A and B are shown apart, each in its own frame.
Chain A
Amino acid sequence: MGVLDYIWLGILAVFHGPELFAIAGVPVSVTIVMVLLGFLIGIVVGSTPGLAGPMAMAVSLPILISIFGFTPDALLPVMGFLIGVMKGATIGGAVPAILFNTPGTPDAFMTTLDGYPMAQNGEAKRALKVAHFSSASGDTFSDIVLILCAPFLALLVEAYLDLPEKTALLILSLAFISAVIGNSVGKGLISMGLGLLAAYVATGEDFYPRLTMGVPALSDGFPIATAVLGVLILGEVFKGLEDQMNERAAGRAAAVPAQNADQKLTGADIKGLLPFIGRSAVIGTLIGALPGIGSTLAATLGYASGRRRQEARGGKAFGTGAPEGIASTEAANSSVSGANLIPVLSLGIPGNAAAVFLILAADSIGGFNPGPSVFRFTADEVNPELVIAFGLFTTMMLANLMNWTIGGVFMRAMGIMIRVPKHILLPIVLLLTLTAIYVQETSLAAVWFAIGFGVMGYLMRRVGMSPLPFVIAFILGGNLEATARQAFSATGGDPFFLVKSPIAAVFLILTIAVVIFAARPSPAKKAEKL
């Protein structure tokens, strides 16, 4: 089995998988339909202020697992659906940002700066076309980088990193995520510490389930769905409900003015946008490849970079309805999504909420453990995990194809989603999420655990603490402990096993450096103090 054979098997797994129906005698596999469905739902969700891709992923996961079961055949349809949602939500966020000055997703905030003025000038359709073209370009670029880089990075990890180095790499990743998210490294570390602590309740190797205080309900630990959905989804819904109460008096979104301007996006327009898209796609991909740094920062940096270029060449100023502003933002935030999967597939480290749900799906279904061991190119026998990995790459390219062909038309029809009232939507999402947790865990105790984690997620958001380090630490906590235990045993109980290997020592030095660097006062804060 060579590399090309594996690629071909991955493509076949998507296109020749279980058939759902046939069109003119041509079989259509269930995976293709699921990617399409996920993509369309993702656009709808992304276009709806108050909803986000991870919410759709969370509530659909138990339904999908019930439909497809716990067999390896379920992996591609379920994960293909989630990938579709991730991509759809990325482009959907620009719709309300442009039409109503309300970003559908946080990373579309910068899109409002030029998108909304364009809509006010009667160029709404053109602005949406720019957003779609830039978003699809950035996303495709990022996926190509993922497909090219992830296998090589995984091979490097497997070839050069032994147990102590892998332990140190996990520590570095967690420290990096905690340090770069939010504006306080202290709060990032607290979030990570809480995640690790929750992961260690009732786990371990002894007969007695540790840290349970003898409470029987805790003896199996916290189910992963309760912690992840609680902190990520319920926490956000609780915050949204309170914001809704506070914004009760706020007025409705303004109507879109008459669209009489030229709505065409010509070849010359595209040629002018390409340098902005290219720069932002590279920025977004680089940022996305680092775990934990979100698409919002990518959008901000992409926009800033585009503005500098625009000022240098003397074009229409950003913030006044410049299509280049939309292109810079949308290419940057969309190119994060593919690159965010590089650490998941090559290192097993989720870098964002969407990657967390992909890991959750793989963990629930079984038969696929994202990480460096996936990319074992076995010659004598087929490595099924590698076929799934190439199948996932195929679903990503398929979703890109859908994005390029039908994404723009569907996206432009989604302006209607702004009319969905948030005060009605959020309570329904809350019950939907709690129901999704219950049907997975079949226990009201699990629902209360999730509500408890939701309260934690709400409090974290209110005190300016990102919940993402918590979730990632919760997912990686068990792996970190197991790897450290194995490394300690393998080195004959050497207490300095983490610093004996040069690579592990470098990772640990980088860990300390990242925390110190992130904790140092920024020049702006120093100036503020003066």
Chain B
Amino acid sequence: MHEKTRFSTALGLLFLLLAAVLILVWIPLDTETSYVEKVRRKLTIGDAMAPTVAAVILALGGLLAILRPGSDTQLTGANLRFLGLLLCTLAVTFAVMRWAGPLAANLWAEVEYRVLRDTAPWKYIGYFLGGTGMITALITMGTGRFRIHHMGIAMAAVLFLIAVYDLPFDDLLLPPNGDV
């Protein structure tokens, strides 16, 4: 069996399995009404119908992916390693974005961050640090080495985004200020 055929078969089987889980387990357990229900003596379509149709389409797609493998593209270990690295980078930089402002307020302000979340410079701390970290880390991933001027570019880009999204508008909140 060709490697591409093997990959398409695995992909098809994965979605056949997902469709079976959806139809047999998830949809029956996680919807309130069945495929059809009676409301005031009239038959109507229930909440389970549409997701079941989606699951049948997934099953059909899975079956056709097995029978008619079309492309020679497939997922590699390198792809998954890149994805893991990317998600770790995003998780760390978003954690910085979320907690840097409250931490700074805890250390240097007399009131809690929630009160300061629409006050400069407090409201920019998390976004600036997290955003700069995210851009710098991703540029470093792309080029394979850390350079200080990349951090400078990242800072300039974040300041530009603050100028675009925050300075002209009173009704827009930069991350993470809507969550704190």
Residues of A within 8 A of B (CB): 62-63, 66-67, 178, 182-194, 196-197, 200, 204-208, 210-213, 238, 241-242, 244-245, 248, 422-424, 426-428, 430-432, 434-436, 438-439, 442-444, 447-448, 451, 455, 458-459, 462-464, 477, 480-481, 484-485, 488-489, 492-493, 515, 519, 521
> Once the chains are docked, how many angstroms separate the CA of A451 from the CA of B158?
19
Min CB gap B177→A, angstroms: 8
Chain B residues at the A interface, C-beta cutoff of 8 Å: 7-8, 11-12, 15, 19, 22, 26-27, 30-33, 36, 42-45, 47-51, 53-55, 57-58, 60-75, 79, 82-83, 86-87, 90, 94, 98, 127, 131, 134-135, 138-139, 141-144, 150, 153-154, 157-158, 161, 164-165, 168-169, 171-176, 178-179
Chain A residues positioned under 8 Å from B70 (CB to CB): 182-187, 464
Q: Report the Cα distance A186→B165, complex, angstroms.
A: 41
Whole-angstrom distance between the Cβ of A390 and the nearest chain B Cβ? 31
**Which 6 A/B pairs are nearest by Cβ-Cβ distance?**
A184-B70, A493-B43, A186-B64, A189-B61, A442-B178, A464-B71
8 of the cross-chain contacts (CB-CB < 8 Å) are A185-B64, A187-B71, A197-B55, A211-B31, A245-B82, A439-B165, A455-B87, A519-B67
The residue that B142 contacts in the complex, of A241, A455, A458, with Cβ under 8 A, is A241
Note all chain B residues with C-beta closer than 8 A to A248: 142-144
- Which of A62, A186, A206, A423 meets B12, CB within 8 Å? A186
Is the pair A426, B50 in contact by a Cβ cutoff of 8 Å? no
Whole-angstrom distance between the alpha carbons of A447 and B127 in the complex? 14
Tell me the bound Cα distance from A427 to B50 in angstroms.
38
Contact B66 A186 (CB under 8 A): yes
Q: A459 with B75: in contact, given A186-B62, A194-B58, A206-B32 (CB under 8 Å)?
A: yes
User: Chain B residues with Cβ under 8 A from A427's Cβ?
Assistant: 134-135, 138-139, 142, 154
Q: Quick one: which of B51, B62, B134 contacts A430, CB cutoff 8 A?
A: B134
Add 6 more A-B contacts to A206-B31, A459-B83 (CB < 8 A): A189-B64, A200-B50, A204-B47, A464-B70, A484-B49, A489-B44
Q: How far does the alpha carbon of A270 sit from the alpha carbon of B138 in the complex, in Å?
A: 47
On whether the beta carbons of A196 and B68 are closer than 8 Å, the reply is no
User: What A residues does B144 contact at CB under 8 A?
Assistant: 245, 248
Give every chain A residue within 8 A of B165 (Cβ-Cβ): 62-63, 435-436, 439
Closest chain-B Cβ to A372's Cβ sits at a distance in Å of 22
A485: nearest chain-B partner, CB-CB: B45
Contact in complex: A190, B179 (CB < 8 Å): no
- Please name the residue on chain A nearest to B150 by beta carbon: A424
A208-B32 in contact (CB<8A): yes
Please give the distance in Å from B163's CB to the nearest CB on chain A: 12
How many whole Å from A311's CB to the nearest CB in chain B?
Answer: 30
Q: How far is the CA of A492 from the CA of B58 in the complex (A)?
A: 29
**B residues less than 8 Å from A197 (CB atoms):** 22, 51, 54-55, 58
Q: How far is the CA of A255 from the CA of B168 in the complex (A)?
A: 40
Q: Please determine whether A189 and B60 come into contact, CB atoms closer than 8 angstroms.
A: yes
Closest to A195 in B: B54
Q: How far is the CA of A192 from the CA of B56 in the complex (A)?
A: 11
User: By the criterion CB–CB under 8 Å, are A424 and B51 in contact?
Assistant: no
Q: Which of A211, A241, A484 is B138 in contact with, Cβ under 8 Å?
A: A241
Question: What chain B residues lie within 8 Å of A492 (beta carbons)?
Answer: 42-43
B22 / chain A contacts, CB cutoff of 8 Å: 197
Which chain A residue shows the least CB distance to B143?
Answer: A423
Q: Contacts of B173 on A, CB cut-off 8 Å? A: 438-439, 442
**A428 and B157 contact, Cβ closer than 8 Å, known pairs A188-B61, A439-B172:** yes
Residues of B within 8 A of A462 (CB): 73-75, 79
Q: Is the CB of B51 within 8 A of A443?
A: no
- Residues of B within 8 Å of A245, CB to CB, are 82, 141-142, 144
How many angstroms between the C-alpha atoms of A185 and B175 in the bound complex?
40
Known contacts: A193-B61, A439-B172, A489-B42. The answer to whether A423 contacts B139 by CB under 8 A is yes
Q: How far is the CA of A204 from the CA of B45 in the complex (A)?
A: 10
Flag if B61 contacts A435 (CB, 8 Å). no
Task: Please give, as numbers and ranges, the residues of chain A lying within 8 Å of B31 by CB-CB distance.
Answer: 204, 206, 208, 210-211
Bound CA span A458–B11, Å: 15
Residues of B within 8 A of A241 (CB): 82, 86, 138, 141-142
User: Which residues of A have CB within 8 Å of B158?
Assistant: 431
Q: Which residues of B contact A212 (CB under 8 A)?
A: 30
Task: Report whether A435 and B161 are in contact in the complex, using a CB–CB cutoff of 8 Å.
Answer: yes
Are B169 and A185 in contact, CB atoms less than 8 angstroms apart? Answer: no
Q: A197-B51, A463-B74 are in contact. Are A519 and B68 (CB under 8 A)?
A: yes
Looking at the complex, which one of B47, B94, B154 makes contact with A447 (CB distance below 8 Å)? B94
With known contacts A211-B27, A245-B141, A430-B138, A190–B172 Cβ distance under 8 A? no
**Pair A444/B175 contact, Cβ less than 8 Å:** yes
In the assembled complex, how far is the CB of residue A66 from the closest CB belonging to chain B, in whole angstroms? 5
Contacts of B48 in A (CB 8 A): 210
B157 to A431, Cβ gap below 8 A? yes
Of A189, A196, A242, A451, the residue contacting B50 (CB under 8 A) is A196
**What are the residues of chain B within 8 A of A192 when measuring CB–CB?**
57, 61
Q: How far is the CA of A436 from the CA of B166 in the complex (A)?
A: 11
Whether B141 contacts A186 by the Cβ 8 Å rule is no
Closest residue of chain B to A191 (Cβ to Cβ) is B61
Q: A204-B31, A463-B74 given as contacts; is B53 within 8 A of A443 (CB)?
A: no
Which residues of B are found within 8 Å of A204, using beta-carbon distances? 31, 47, 50
Q: How far is the CB of B88 from chain A (nearest CB, A)?
A: 12
Contact in complex: A66, B169 (CB < 8 Å):
yes
Tell me if B42 and A211 are in contact (CB < 8 A).
no
Within the assembled complex, what's the spacing in Å between the Cα atoms of A188 and B57?
10
Give bound CA distance, A361 to B19, whole Å. Answer: 33
Q: Which residues of chain A have C-beta atoms less than 8 A from B66's C-beta?
A: 186
Task: Give the docked Cα–Cα distance between A200 and B53 (Å).
Answer: 11
* Contact (A424, B61) CB under 8 Å given A185-B68, A438-B174: no
* Residue numbers in B under 8 Å from A67 (CB-CB): 168-169
Q: B64, A184: Cβ atoms under 8 Å?
A: yes
Quick one: closest B residue to A448, CB to CB? B94
* Inter-chain contact A190/B33, CB cutoff 8 Å: no
Q: In the assembled complex, which residues on chain B have CB atoms less than 8 Å from the CB atom of A242?
A: 79, 82
- A207 and B47 CA atoms in complex are apart in Å by 10
| Bound-complex Cα distance A163 to B166 (A) | 45
